[in-house]
A and B are shown apart, each in its own frame.
Chain A
Amino acid sequence: MRTPTLTPTMTLALTLALTLAITITITITMGLGCQSKVSDTDVFQEKPSVNVSTVTAVASNENSARALYAVAMRVYRVEVIDLSTREVRATLDEKTVERIKSSIVLNGLDTSLTVTSPPWDVVLHLHIPGRAPFIAHPVGLDRLRLRSDVPENSAVPSIDEGFDLVAGEVTIDFEVSDVLHQLLGEPSKEYLMEDSDRRDMIRYLETE
């Protein structure tokens, strides 16, 4: 039987592949570790920075949620973009970004789409080194929707047009929407209570 020999090119390719595999392993391990470090109080202690400027980066959703899931741990900045003015409303603080990253890795891709309409007319630009930012719509209570067909359209994709559900949304921590609420104000009515119901709730829960 002939013993295989490695050419210099094959050796280089093997070394690169091994390095990449080790990097991915470390990244995922770090990602899982980050989840336990983030607590509710951390998120609320540090307010997101508000930085209104015009969007300059060309965003892309090629392969949508599937692609984001694969590289989630490399997200280094998340901007909140106002869909009507095209301005950067805010840049999320580091702890919220970590929370988004780790929850995407932990929760993975979702095989369904959220019915509830988006709470705000904004998108998140998730920046990754060496690629255009992903465009994600916060939807429902804890999802990010990524449309590869029309990235800036927040609507549930028309299901009769063969949309790939598996590539549509990722689940993030529920508390991220609280951070966005602090930044953007009240969400749409589907998420809210009527004032009279809210007063009744508070009275009941604090005194009953």
Chain B
Amino acid sequence: MSDHAVVKVIDERGKDMEPVLVILRNQAAFHQFFSVADQGLSLDLGSVKPGTYELVIALANRPQLPFSVAVVAKRGAAKSITFKGMVPRCCTLTRQSAFAGTASSRTLHVFTFSLARSHHEVIMVSGWTFKGQKNFMAYVNTWRNDLYNGSTWISGERKPIAQEVFDHTVVTAFNAETGLRTRQIKGRTGWHTMDTVLQGTVPTHTGSTKHESSNRRRHDEDSLSIVHIYAYITDLGAVAPGSLHRFDVFSHAWMGGPILINTVEDPEFKGNGARSAERDPGDKDGRTKDFNSLNMPGISASNFRRAFASGASARIWGCFATKDYRHLIQAAAHATDPNSLMTVKLEDNRVLNTTGRRIEKYFRNRVLSDTYMAELAKVAQIQVFGAPPGLGSNVSRVGRRFYLYVDQKVFALEYRWYSDTIGIDPDDAGYILFS
């Protein structure tokens, strides 16, 4: 009597897909599946020690897909294999026993995975909040569930949205507080965790931002950085072009881009520094300059772009609360004649002499086009949404769902100016399109 794990993969039409490789692995062991006549890709569990494993399926034109499984010892020499945690909805696990005497009787543990012909993935990022509260994972999880359900409560009431997460979609979340990258796929209940991988060599240091030593450590240590996320996307573009359908960043943000950890660049990499166009290797946050040819040269830029599906989109959910921009918008919105000179008081108490028309041109030609969102849109050739310059994001809760949004009631004057003067209108959540 023997037990065998068998793996079959079919596409959305029920046609067989041939894996390049199927393995069962953990830190101590590596077992490869081989094709057995009338049985398919199989592994005799007799030589597999009980324990937890990754069942890794490699198919052409997609990244390896690991699933969490456990091999369990049963009575006698019998063994069983099951999913660890939630059972993925994209897989049916059946057991088939054939009795033909003690020597040749066998039980087949058959995993039938139903995947799309092309790989389908979304990436979500949760920033560290650095001011004492917990991280942004609650917003990531809500949005992940909304994208699966095809509806959202972000405006306070249930509204349909395009379903962008399916049973076969890999949802990859980078958590800047823990430094971990976790990949999940929809479970029959909840979500099946495929793998969890530390980015860099150490977790994010979360000591107080009031201590310079902690800030320095965050900068110097090899912990999660936005560069890890770019590298992941670039690798995805190399093996599974056109597979990334969404990129959402839930974090604090400012005019310079999303703040994942709140690191400060060393002086030579700042605005007037000798190497200001380069990324500071110790910096962990997103920067507008990330997509220039120095930081994302040739092949990496093209694989980065290649990762995104046609029609893909990204959203930077954090704030764009630059006070001077809001001062300018308010002054322009109140101007009776857009060509008349007026004074605008800036953040540093300087008084600026300008006109409503110049403010409009400045926003059109400089502000909107020179943002993290606009640069990402250019390099990835996708639609990128973000908070309008000058406005901050808010947290809202609808039942047990948690959202970030920009309040269109509080910023009514500013939104009216964006609409009437620039011709930009927000979506339901208050974000605008930068591409």
Residues of A at the B interface (CB closer than 8 Å) are: 44, 84, 110-118, 121, 140-142, 153-160, 165, 171, 174, 177-178, 181-182, 186-187, 189-198, 200-202, 204-206, 208
Within 8 Å CB of B252, what residues of A? 115-117, 190
Among A117, A142, A157, A186, point to the contact of B130 (Cβ < 8 A). A117
Q: How far is the CB of A201 from chain B (nearest CB, A)?
A: 7
| Assembly CA distance A182 to B347 (angstroms) | 9
**Do B395 and A156 touch across chains, with their CB atoms under 8 A apart?**
yes
Among B259, B345, B349, point to the contact of A190 (Cβ < 8 A). B259
Within 8 Å CB of A114, what residues of B? 392-395
**Do A157 and B358 touch across chains, with their CB atoms under 8 A apart?**
no
Stretch from B28-36, B160-168, B314-322 at the A interface: B314-322
Within 8 Å CB of B358, what residues of A? 204-205, 208
| Assembly CA distance A154 to B133 (angstroms) | 9
Within 8 Å CB of B392, what residues of A? 114-116, 140-141
**Do A158 and B133 touch across chains, with their CB atoms under 8 A apart?**
yes
| Assembly CA distance A157 to B138 (angstroms) | 13
| Assembly CA distance A194 to B349 (angstroms) | 16
Within 8 Å CB of B188, what residues of A? none
**B404 proximal to A (CB < 8 A):** yes
Across the A-B interface, the 9 shortest Cβ-Cβ residue pairs:
A155-B132, A196-B271, A155-B133, A112-B394, A205-B354, A113-B395, A112-B396, A115-B393, A190-B254
**Do A155 and B326 touch across chains, with their CB atoms under 8 A apart?**
no
Q: How far is the CB of A139 from chain B (nearest CB, A)?
A: 9
Within 8 Å CB of A113, what residues of B? 394-396
| Assembly CA distance A182 to B134 (angstroms) | 31
| Assembly CA distance A177 to B396 (angstroms) | 23
Q: How far is the CB of B395 from chain A (nearest CB, A)?
A: 4
**Do B352 and A205 touch across chains, with their CB atoms under 8 A apart?**
yes
Within 8 Å CB of B402, what residues of A? 159-160
**Do B410 and A192 touch across chains, with their CB atoms under 8 A apart?**
no
Q: How far is the CB of B326 from chain A (nearest CB, A)?
A: 6
**Do B362 and A159 touch across chains, with their CB atoms under 8 A apart?**
no
Within 8 Å CB of A190, what residues of B? 252-254, 259, 319, 321
**B415 proximal to A (CB < 8 A):** no
**Do B362 and A208 touch across chains, with their CB atoms under 8 A apart?**
yes
**Do B323 and A177 touch across chains, with their CB atoms under 8 A apart?**
yes
**Do B395 and A191 touch across chains, with their CB atoms under 8 A apart?**
no
| Assembly CA distance A174 to B354 (angstroms) | 21
Within 8 Å CB of B133, what residues of A? 155-158
**Do B319 and A112 touch across chains, with their CB atoms under 8 A apart?**
no
Q: How far is the CB of B114 from chain A (nearest CB, A)?
A: 33
Q: How far is the CB of A17 from chain B (nearest CB, A)?
A: 34
Which of A117, A118, A153, A165: most chain B CB closer than 10 A?
A: A117
| Assembly CA distance A111 to B271 (angstroms) | 38
Q: How far is the CB of B207 from chain A (nearest CB, A)?
A: 15
**Do A193 and B352 touch across chains, with their CB atoms under 8 A apart?**
no
**Do B366 and A201 touch across chains, with their CB atoms under 8 A apart?**
yes
**Do B129 and A111 touch across chains, with their CB atoms under 8 A apart?**
no
* Interface of chain B residues 243 through 270 with chain A (CB within 8 A): 252-256, 259, 270
Using known A-B contacts A192-B323, A206-B353, determine if residue A117 contacts B131 with beta carbons closer than 8 Å: yes
Q: What per-residue 1/0 map shows which CB atoms of B355-375 lie under 8 Å from chain A?
A: 000110110001000000000
| Assembly CA distance A171 to B411 (angstroms) | 11
Q: How far is the CB of B274 from chain A (nearest CB, A)?
A: 14
**Do A178 and B345 touch across chains, with their CB atoms under 8 A apart?**
yes
| Assembly CA distance A159 to B397 (angstroms) | 8
Q: How far is the CB of B312 from chain A (nearest CB, A)?
A: 25
13 more A-B contacts (CB under 8 A) besides A157-B133, A191-B323, A193-B255? A115-B404, A116-B392, A190-B253, A190-B321, A191-B321, A192-B254, A194-B255, A194-B270, A195-B272, A204-B358, A204-B366, A205-B352, A208-B362
**B235 proximal to A (CB < 8 A):** no
| Assembly CA distance A165 to B400 (angstroms) | 12
Within 8 Å CB of A115, what residues of B? 252, 318-319, 392-395, 404
Within 8 Å CB of A158, what residues of B? 133-134
Within 8 Å CB of B404, what residues of A? 115
Which of A156, A165, A178, A205: most chain B CB closer than 10 A?
A: A205
| Assembly CA distance A159 to B138 (angstroms) | 8
Q: How far is the CB of B418 from chain A (nearest CB, A)?
A: 16
Interface pairs (22), CB distance under 8 Å: A112-B405, A115-B318, A115-B394, A117-B252, A141-B321, A141-B326, A155-B129, A155-B133, A158-B133, A158-B134, A159-B397, A189-B254, A190-B254, A190-B321, A191-B323, A192-B322, A192-B347, A193-B347, A201-B362, A205-B352, A205-B359, A208-B361
